[in-house]
């Protein structure tokens, strides 16, 4: 039973249990993130074997500490246990035991499939988020000095799609900050909310061209690479072979209306096996200064990875030698003298505009950072430009 994964450093860890039993033995399957080779299983301590289903999820905090958690069908009576994992020995240390004491609107027995961490569990100062399955509520527990100091509930009133009335099956929360979170559920698409008032702050209502074609499979993440901002999320379920969308923006606030479509990954989908878990998980790791490796995992289907490289960071040079310069004004790229060719590329290396025998090029693209390349007197000049 392998329902979840996370990526840390050079490795991917997939959560596993030997049976759907509260007493089942548990493990983390360790996989080389670069090659996909299985390194082996890390057998976990008996403390992970708790109800209802143990080792249902494996998650990491902001410092990369790996924890495992169980699934509970009634968090009023059966807690979610968060155990810190020693990745060398499999030894476990309990860092949180989460009971829902607050009233959850329209829910008698709050089910929690997955939780998420913000902060560093080894310092004792951290926050745990959990969406209640088939509800409109997210619970947040705050810890200070390793002790729970508060429990808060955020109940939302709006969803995307607008026809949804709750998050649906096995929703996943991804904290965006201390005040906001992303969530994807079996009835809903990847969206961002403010915790204080439950306001839907960002959704595909603002950019329906990026909207998923189906909502059953849950997963998504966001990251930054050299001043470009990315999000990637589940956009098609088993009926279309499990697919994910990658989008980017030069806007730090990552408003959905500023996001530009990059790719559908994998192009032909991962497969059509429905594991019944509603999971299509996403995680990433930074690889050096100029590359991010993104992983997609669907239980019962497989794991795949893509490397996103900032080609501009490794190849763009300031082009002032020989008196040739490249600049931009609005959406016009200008070369200081006539060029045999001018080309403009997005940050992924795809050409978006070109012209021959000119000193200017008008570029009709979304505002953002691009690479301009000019051929002058047989020599190539490159420059990062901001188009508006």
Contacting residues for 340 by C-beta, under 8 A, at least 6 apart: 356, 357, 375, 376, 378
| Tokens, residue 11 | 């490795």
Q: How far apart are CA 130 and CA 70, in angstroms?
A: 12
pLDDT digits (tens, 9 = 90+) for 88-118: 999 999 999 999 999 999 999 999 999 999 9
| CATH number of the domain enclosing 242 | 2.120.10
φ/ψ (deg, to 5) at 315: -125, -15
77 shares a domain with 214: yes
366 shares a domain with 344: yes
Over range 63-75, report the average pLDDT.
97
Q: What is the pLDDT of residue 2?
A: 83
Whether the CB-CB separation of 92 and 82 falls below 8 Å is answered with no
The residue segments making up the domain with residue 12 are 5-311
φ/ψ (deg, to 5) at 214: -150, 165
160 shares a domain with 51: yes
341 shares a domain with 302: no
| Tokens, residue 8 | 């840390």
Confidence of residue 348 (pLDDT cuts 50, 70, 90): low
Place of tokens 């025998």: 357
Of the ranges 68-72, 270-274, 311-315, 351-355, the best mean pLDDT one: 68-72
Whether the CB-CB separation of 328 and 355 falls below 8 Å is answered with no
pLDDT digits (tens, 9 = 90+) for 10-36: 999 999 999 888 889 999 999 999 999
Over range 29-56, report the average pLDDT.
93
Q: What is the pLDDT of residue 22?
A: 86
342 shares a domain with 305: no
Place of tokens 């992970």: 48
Among residues 268, 277, 205, which one has the least CA distance to residue 236? 268
Q: How far apart are CA 134 and CA 225, in angstroms?
A: 35
Of 311, 329, 359, the domain-final residue: 311
pLDDT at 44 over 60: yes
Confidence of residue 78 (pLDDT cuts 50, 70, 90): very high
Q: Total domain count for the chain?
A: 2
Q: What is the pLDDT of residue 241?
A: 92
| CATH number of the domain enclosing 337 | 2.60.40
- As to burial, measured by CB atoms within 10 angstroms (0-12 exposed, 13-18 middle, 19+ buried), residue 72 is buried
242 shares a domain with 103: yes
Q: What is the pLDDT of residue 309?
A: 84
Confidence of residue 276 (pLDDT cuts 50, 70, 90): confident
Contacting residues for 367 by C-beta, under 8 A, at least 6 apart: 250, 258, 386, 387, 388
Of 285, 311, 337, the domain-final residue: 311
Q: What percent of the chain clears pLDDT 70, i.e. is strictly above it?
A: 96
Instruction: Give residue 139's Cα distance to chain centre.
Output: 20
Over range 347-359, report the average pLDDT.
85
Q: Taking the CA atoms of the chain, what radius of gyration do you get in angstroms?
A: 23
pLDDT at 1 over 60: yes
Q: What is the pLDDT of residue 311?
A: 54
Q: What is the pLDDT of residue 323?
A: 59
Confidence of residue 55 (pLDDT cuts 50, 70, 90): very high
Of 311, 326, 361, the domain-final residue: 311
φ/ψ (deg, to 5) at 268: -100, 10
Query: How much is the mean pLDDT over the chain?
Result: 91
- How many Cα atoms are found within 13 Å in the side-chain-facing hemisphere of 238? 15
192 shares a domain with 329: no
How far from each other are the two terminal CA atoms of the chain, in whole angstroms? 50
pLDDT digits (tens, 9 = 90+) for 153-177: 999 999 999 999 999 999 999 999 8
Confidence of residue 379 (pLDDT cuts 50, 70, 90): confident
Over range 37-55, report the average pLDDT.
92
Q: How far apart are CA 188 and CA 220, in angstroms?
A: 12
Q: How far apart are CA 221 and CA 245, in angstroms?
A: 11
pLDDT digits (tens, 9 = 90+) for 283-340: 999 998 789 999 999 999 999 999 998 754 333 333 333 457 888 888 999 999 999 9
Confidence of residue 384 (pLDDT cuts 50, 70, 90): confident
Q: How far apart are CA 387 and CA 331, in angstroms?
A: 5
Peptide bond into 268 cis (omega under 30): no
288 shares a domain with 158: yes
Place of tokens 């289907």: 301
Sign of the torsion formed by the C-alpha atoms of 41, 45, 46 and 52: negative
Q: What is the pLDDT of residue 318?
A: 36
Q: What is the pLDDT of residue 380?
A: 80
Q: What is the pLDDT of residue 315?
A: 36
pLDDT digits (tens, 9 = 90+) for 138-154: 999 999 999 999 999 99
Confidence of residue 369 (pLDDT cuts 50, 70, 90): confident
96 shares a domain with 44: yes
Over range 232-238, report the average pLDDT.
95
Among residues 116, 53, 139, 42, which one has the least CA distance to residue 283? 116
| Tokens, residue 269 | 């989908």
Q: What is the pLDDT of residue 250?
A: 85
| Tokens, residue 254 | 């990552």
**371: helix, strand or coil:** strand
**DSSP line for 160-184:** SSTT-SS--SS-EEEE-SSSEEEEE
Q: What is the pLDDT of residue 178?
A: 86
DSSP category for residue 44: P
Contacting residues for 158 by C-beta, under 8 A, at least 6 apart: 199, 200, 203
278 shares a domain with 141: yes
222 shares a domain with 101: yes
| Tokens, residue 78 | 């059966």
239 shares a domain with 380: no
Q: What is the pLDDT of residue 313?
A: 39
Confidence of residue 187 (pLDDT cuts 50, 70, 90): very high
Q: How far apart are CA 281 and CA 217, in angstroms?
A: 8
């Amino acid at each position: 039973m392998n329902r979840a994964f996370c990526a840390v450093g050079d490795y991917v860890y997939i959560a596993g249990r030997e049976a759907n039993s509260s007493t089942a033995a548990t493990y983390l399957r360790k996989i080389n993130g670069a090659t996909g080779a299985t390194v082996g299983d890390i057998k976990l301590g008996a403390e992970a074997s708790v109800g209802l289903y143990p080792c249902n999820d494996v998650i990491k905090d902001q410092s990369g500490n790996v924890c495992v958690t169980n699934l509970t069908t009634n968090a009023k009576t059966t807690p979610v246990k968060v155990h810190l994992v020693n990745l060398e020995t499999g030894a476990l240390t309990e860092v949180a035991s989460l009971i829902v004491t607050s009233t959850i609107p329209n829910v008698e027995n709050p089910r929690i499939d997955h939780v998420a961490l913000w902060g560093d569990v080894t310092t004792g100062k951290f926050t745990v988020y959990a969406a209640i399955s088939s509800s409109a509520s997210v619970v947040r527990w705050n810890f200070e000095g390793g002790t729970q100091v508060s429990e808060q509930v955020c109940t939302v009133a709006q969803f995307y799609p607008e026809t949804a009335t709750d998050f649906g099956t096995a929703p996943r929360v991804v904290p965006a900050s201390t005040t906001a979170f992303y969530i994807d559920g079996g009835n809903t698409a990847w969206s961002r909310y403010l915790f204080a008032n439950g306001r839907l702050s960002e959704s595909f209502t603002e950019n329906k061209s990026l909207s998923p074609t189906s909502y059953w499979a849950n997963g998504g993440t966001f990251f930054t690479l050299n001043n470009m901002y990315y999000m990637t999320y589940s956009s098609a379920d088993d009926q279309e072979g499990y697919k994910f969308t990658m989008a980017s923006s030069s806007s730090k606030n990552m408003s959905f209306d500023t996001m530009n479509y990059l790719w559908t990954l994998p192009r032909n989908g991962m497969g059509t096996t429905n594991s019944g878990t509603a999971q299509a998980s996403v995680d990433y790791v930074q690889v050096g200064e100029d590359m991010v490796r993104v992983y997609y995992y669907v239980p019962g289907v497989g794991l795949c990875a893509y490397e996103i490289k900032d080609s501009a960071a490794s190849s763009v040079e300031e082009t002032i030698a020989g008196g040739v310069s490249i600049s931009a004004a609005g959406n016009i790229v200008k070369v200081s003298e006539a060029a045999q060719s001018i080309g403009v590329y997005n940050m992924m290396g795809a050409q978006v505009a070109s012209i021959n025998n000119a000193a200017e090029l008008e570029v009709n693209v979304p505002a953002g950072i691009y690479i301009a390349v000019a051929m002058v007197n047989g020599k190539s000049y490159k420059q990062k430009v901001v188009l508006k």
